[in-house]
Structure 1
Amino acid sequence: MQFPVQSPVHVVQLSDSHLFAEAQGSLIGMNTRDSLQRVVALARREQPRVDLLLATGDLSQDGSDASYACFQQLTEPFAAQARWLPGNHDDQAAMARAAEGENLLQSVTDIGQWRVIMLNSQVVGATFGVLDSGQLSGLDQALREAPDRHCLVCLHHQPVPIDCAWMGSIGLRNADALFEVLDACPQVRALLWGHIHQEWDQARGGVRLLASPSTCIQFAPGCEDFTVSEEKPGYRWLRLHADGKIETGVSRVEDYHVRLDFNGPGY
């Protein structure tokens, strides 16, 4: 069925689920499968309509086939188009196996009056990110081929400083190259990412800069050193309107009791 071009596109972003092959896999004391289930249940209650589900990296902690199968299974109830991109913890080969026969790793999606572009900023074996020449040229082409569509660009690593000193070295290393491409294309409305396990909402020129909570552990904002907070797991929702306007917010599982265990497996 063709999407009504004047209707807003209803989007849910899930990020940094850090799933394991084992059902009891935990991160700093939090069972990541359980927390994702709770976030999905919340999003389904709050978002009766979801047109597009965006998973912005670190779906898996251990890169196992079972972890991606689990992510697929737990998010299937949205009954929406889904798009994934890799984070620094993900295994791209395992992701590709999970996505076989699906459009999960499709990099460009046109829906309504919008074009959504998914970028791969993973550097294998590293925590920081880089957009290689292929990603940058693909982005440039995708934008220039759609001058009349509003564009949402997604990646994993943060492209701007976020007031967390310890995360400065593990963000996107060539953000200037990204912004050089984006600045040449006025139809770009927003840049959306994961990785930082916290909410971020600012603007750069006419572009909205957005990041979102993890579906598991949260990093405390404004910290010099690695610090985990007791904020609840959550997700971001977006309404992409036909005129280019964006409505968005973050929702958290407020009845989730966070029990951190720093003697358990770490990040």
Structure 2
Amino acid sequence: MQHISYSDTLHSDKDSFAIAQISDLHLSEHNPKSFEQFLAVLDLALTHQPDLLLLTGDLVNDGVSEVYDWLFAILKNTGIPFLCLAGNHDVTQEIGHDLPFDERTFRPIAKDERLIDTHRLTIKLPHATWQILVVNSAINGQIYGRLDDESLDFLKTNLSNHLPTIIAMHHHPHPVGSAWIDEYRLKNADEFWRTLATFDNAKAILCGHVHQTHSLMVQGVALDTCPATSRQFAPHRDEFAIDDIAAGFRLIQICNKKTLVTCVKRVQN
């Protein structure tokens, strides 16, 4: 197993810093196309010259160590700093793919130790300092998410420094208007929002999980979700449905003025 060391601080002499959020790869030895789809999105992201790659979970189905080895080798090869966190599929083996969803079995598996539990990355620009706080919302054997007390304390401690902050996790902490996936959002979202309510420096929350693109404002904080590199889910549907829109990633630009802009870039169908 390759050792992964995540950066604590990144410096930029530019007025802005670009983050490419890539999510829900679902890499699987049983689906060779999943690797091609990820590489196509990564290639597109690299054309925008990001300063950081942020992978927000569901990276590898069934926790296969050799597939993580492949993924981390690809990321290291880019020469760009990266952060990787777990999603539910990274800590859960789904048994019975050919069965109706409610007849499948979900078995807990250990999280690959190279995936982040909590991590603080400081980004120093010439006239502003930002921080990215990464927390693990994945629960072994479950589709829904939850932040444990340690993660909530981590957020509270680091938000108290009043730096402009981006929070990254897998599960969405607010409904996005698709009843079936909203059932599996962050279960203790109320605790999460109460933690943030004490502070005014959280600028954005970046999530995966929904395989859809949403930009919402919740309690004065931007909540942005990311398209998947695998299949896309149709938005605003109470029942599960696949969308034919292309895969993509979210590009985030932070700047000296403590402001943030974001957009979604997609590969061609």
The normalised TM-score by structure 2 is 0.84
Alignment of 1:7-26 (within 5 A): 7-20=15-28, 22=29, 25-26=30-31
Q: Where does residue 37 of structure 1 map in the other structure?
A: 39
Task: Give me the whole-angstrom Cα distance separating, in 2, the residues matched to 1:246 and 1:163.
Answer: 25
Contact 1:83 1:106 in 2 (8 A): no
Residue of structure 1 equivalent to 2:59: 59
Equivalent pair of 2:88/2:139 in contact (CA under 8 Å): yes
Aligned-pair distance for 1:138?
Answer: 1.1
Aligned positions of 1:226-265 closer than 5 A: 226-254=240-268, 256=269
> What is the identity, as a one-letter code, of the residue corresponding to 1:16?
D
Q: Which structure has more strand as a fraction of its residues? A: 2
Residue number among 112, 127, 135 corresponding to 1:95 in the alignment: 112
**SS, match of residue 76 in structure 2:** helix
Displacement of 1:224 in angstroms is 1.1
1:13: how far off? 0.5
The runs of at least 4 aligned residues of structure 1 exceeding 3 Å deviation read 91-94
Q: Which residue of 2 aligns with 1:115?
A: 131
Q: TM-score, normalised by structure 1?
A: 0.84
Correspondence for 1:3: 11
Q: Is the 8 A contact 2:87 2:170 kept in 1?
A: yes
Residue type of the alignment partner of 1:188: A
* Deviation of the 1:78 alpha carbon: 3.2
CA RMSD of aligned residues (A): 1.9
Q: Which residue of 1 aligns with 2:197?
A: 183
SS of the counterpart of 2:177? coil
Q: Is residue 234–residue 253 contact of structure 1 (8 Å, CA) maintained in 2?
A: yes
Structure 1 position 150 matched with structure 2 position 133:
no
Larger RCO (CA under 8 A, 6+ residues apart): 1
Alpha-carbon separation, structure 2, partners of 1:253 and 1:6: 27
Gaps of 5+ in 2: 1-8, 92-108
Q: How much does 1:93 deviate? A: 4.7
How big is the shift at 1:106? 5.9
CA contact (8 A) 1:19 1:62 kept: no
What does the per-residue CA deviation read over 1:33-76, in whole Å, with 9 as the maximum and x for residues that have no partner? 0100111111112x12x221111011111211112112213333
Task: For 1:164 and 1:252, locate their aligned partners in 2 and report how far apart those are by CA, in whole Å.
Answer: 22
1:168 aligned to 172, 182, 186, which one?
182
Q: Which secondary structure state, in structure 2, belongs to the residue aligned with residue 83 of structure 1?
A: strand
**Which of 206, 214, 227 is the equivalent residue of 1:213?**
227
Q: Aligned partners of 1:6, 1:242: CA distance in 2, in Å?
A: 9
Q: Identity over aligned residues, as a percent? A: 29
Equivalent pairs counted in the alignment come to 240
- Equivalent position SS for 1:62: helix
Partner AA of 1:55 in structure 2: L
